[in-house]
Amino acid sequence: MTDLETELLTILRKLDETARTSPAPGPRPDLPVALARIADLTRRLPAGTSPELLHFLHKRSLEKARLFLEARDPEPGACPH
């Protein structure tokens, strides 16, 4: 795993934890910052990055991206690609 992928995984895990432990729906101040950082890291991934990971990140399937980076199979979704 590259340093960029490791950083992505850290952010994705933090987002997952925040979503699971937040007491109520509503704005989360860290969300825009985290999404911007994910977008920046996605743009910086090298040319040999897995097309499947890039697909998840570009479509904002962040849970699937996290599972992929954890070497766990994301469950197939409704995405036809």
- The answer as to whether 9 is a domain residue is yes
CA distances from 45 to 23, 32, 48, 49, 63 (A): 34, 20, 8, 6, 18
Counted domains in the chain: 1
Q: Which residues contact 62 (CB under 8 A, 6 or more apart)?
A: 12, 15, 38, 56
- The answer as to whether 39 is a domain residue is yes
- The answer as to whether 78 is a domain residue is no
Between 3-21 and 62-69, two packed helices, what is the crossing angle to 10 degrees?
130
This prediction has a pTM of 0.82
- The answer as to whether 76 is a domain residue is no
- The answer as to whether 44 is a domain residue is yes
- The answer as to whether 38 is a domain residue is yes
- The answer as to whether 81 is a domain residue is no
The total of other beta-carbon atoms located within 10 Å of residue 56's CB is 24
Give the model confidence (pLDDT) of 33-62 as tens digits.
999 999 999 999 999 999 999 999 999 999
Average pLDDT over residues 16-27: 76
pLDDT at 47: 92
Boundaries of domain holding 35: 3-18+30-69
